[in-house]
Amino acid sequence: MKLKFCSREEEAAAALLDEGWSDANDSELRAHIDECPHCMDVVLVAQALRQARIETARAATLPASGVLWWRAQIRRRSGAFERATRPIAVVEKLALVAVALGFACLAAWQWNQISDWVLQLTYLARPNTSLLDTLWTPFSGVSGWILASLIVSLGALALFGGLAIYLLVEKE
Amino acid sequence: MKTKAATWECALPEADVGNMTQMAELLMDDETFAGFYQRTARPLWAYLARVSGNAALANDLLQESYLRLLSATFTADGEVACRRYLFRIATNLLRDHWRHPVSASLEELPEGALAACDSRVFERMDSKELLGRAFVRMRPRERQLLWLAYAEGSTHREIAEITGLGATSIRLLLFRARHKLARLLRRQNIEPKRGT
C-alpha cells in the first residue's frame, strides 16, 4: 500500500465531528474533500462510525451508578482489610505449618509405640482378646509423665490444628 | 475519651486502621460519580461492544472498568483525564480478555477471530446500515483505533495513551485501518453522505 498522507485529514475529521460535513462552513475544505481520496476516506469512515456510535450507545442497557459505586466501596474496603490483615494470615499459615511439623516430629519420636499400637489393633479381631489390654500393651513400659505429656500434646495438636484449618478455610 | 466500637478494627493496630480508612476512600464521591457515569457510560459501552463485537462482554467489562476506576489510586486531573483513564482501563480489560497463552498481542489475533458472535445485534443497531458487516471484518486493534479516532474523536496522543501504543505509530496504523474500512464500506456500496 502506498502511504500518502493528506495534511488536511485531521481538519476534515474535526469538521465532521463538530458540525457535520454538510454544515461545514469552510467551502474550501469541502472542495478539497471532494477532490482528495484520503479525506474522502476520512469522511466515509467517520460518518459510519459516528452513526454507529449513536446507535450503539442508544442500545446500551446500563446498571445504576449507585450499584457500581456501592460495589466499588465494598471491594475497596475488603481490599484494604485484606492488606491490613495480611500479617495475620501469614502467622496463621506459619502456625499451621508448625503444628504439622510438630505432629510429624511427635510421630517420629514415638514411632515404635505407635507402630506397636497399630499392630495390636489387628488382635482386636480375636474374640478372646480384651480391648483395653490390647490398647494398653505398647504403653505399659512408658513412664506416667511421658504418657500424660503425649496425650496432652496430641490433644493440643488436634485443637490448634483444627482451629488453624478452620480459620484458613473460613478465610478462603 | 472516645470509645472504640467493638468491631474488627479494634483488633488492628491504630496506625493500620488510619491507613486503611485512607485506602478505603474512593476516587469520587457518590454524586460526582453519578454525573461522570451519566456522561461516560454509554460511549464506553459502545466502544467495548463495537470493538469486542460482544454485547454481553461489554456489559461485564463496563462494570469492571468503573469498579477499577473508582478503586484506583490515580490522581484525577479533571474529567477529561478521568475519562481517558477509564477508556484505558477498558482497553486493558479487553486485552486481558483476549490474551492467548501464545499470542499476547492484539496484532497477532486473526481477522474475524473475535468477529462478533452477536453481530446481528449490531446490525440491528445500525439502522442506516452504514457500518454493516465491514467493521467485524477488521482486526480488533484496527477497530479499537478507528473507534477511538472517529467515533470518540480522540487525538493521536490520547489514542496512544489509551492503547499503550507509540504515539508515532498511531498515524500509520490509523491510515491503514481507515483505508481498509473505507474499501470494505465501498464494497457494500456505501459512499459518504453529502448533506441534506
Does this complex have an ipTM over 0.90? no
Q: What is the pLDDT along chain A (172 residues), one digit of tens a residue?
A: 556 778 787 777 777 766 555 555 577 888 888 888 888 888 889 888 988 899 889 888 899 999 999 999 898 888 888 888 888 888 888 888 888 898 888 888 888 888 887 777 766 656 565 666 656 665 666 566 676 777 888 888 888 888 877 777 766 5
Q: Which of A98, A91, A117 is nearest to A157 (CA)?
A: A98
Q: Is A105 within the bounds of a domain?
A: no
Contact A52 B131 (CB under 8 A): yes
pLDDT at B142 over 50: yes
In a domain, A95, yes or no: no
CA dist B28 and B36 (Å) reads: 9
Residue A12 near residue A26 (C-beta atoms within 8 A): no
B150 chain-A contacts, CB cut-off 8 A: 13, 17, 42, 45-46, 49-50
Domain housing A153: 142-172
Residue A116: inside a domain, yes or no? no
pLDDT at B129: 54
Evaluate whether B28 touches B36 at the Cβ level (below 8 Å).
yes
On whether residue A147 sits in a domain, the answer given is yes
State the cell numbers at B172: 500509520
> Per-residue confidence at B23, pLDDT binned at 50, 70, 90?
very low
Q: How many domains does chain A have?
A: 2
CA–CA distances in Å: residue A84 to residues A79, A165, B8, B24, B73: 9, 21, 11, 11, 17
Please report the pLDDT score of residue A123 as a whole number: 66
pLDDT band at B88 (very low <50, low <70, confident <90, very high): very high
Give the orientation angle of helix A65-84 with respect to helix B55-71, to 10 degrees: 50
What is the residue-wise DSSP string for A33-74?
HHH-HHHHHHHHHHHHHHHHHHHHHHH-----HHHHHHHHHH
Residues in chain B: 196
Are the C-beta atoms of B44 and B86 separated by less than 8 Å? yes
Concatenated DSSP letters of A113-134: HHHHHHHHHGGGGSTT--HHHH
Q: How confident is the model at residue B151 (pLDDT cuts 50, 70, 90)?
A: very high
Query: How far apart (Å, rounded) are the C-alpha atoms in residues A86 and A152?
Result: 31
Q: Which of A24, A42, A59 is the last residue of a domain?
A: A59
Last residue of a domain, one of A59, A78, A101: A59
Q: Using CB atoms, which residue from A50, A63, A72 is nearest to B71?
A: A72
Residue A78 lies in a domain: no
Residue A75 domain-assigned? no
Which residue matches cell numbers 474522502?
A: A40
Higher pLDDT, B84 or B133: B84
Nearest-neighbour CA in chain B from A162: distance (Å) = 22
Say if residues B61 and B90 touch (Cβ distance below 8 Å).
yes
For B192, the closest chain A residue by CA position comes to A44
Is A4 within a domain? no
Check if the beta carbon of residue B67 is closer than 8 Å to that of residue B39.
no
Q: How many CB atoms lie within 10 A of CB B19?
A: 15
Answer yes or no: is A156 within a domain. Answer: yes
Q: Do A72 and B178 touch (CB under 8 A)?
A: no
Residues A129-158 have pLDDT tens digits of: 566 665 666 566 656 667 677 788 888 888
Show Cβ contacts of residue A1 under 8 Å, excluding neighbours closer than 6 positions: B176, B179
pLDDT over 90, % of chain B: 41
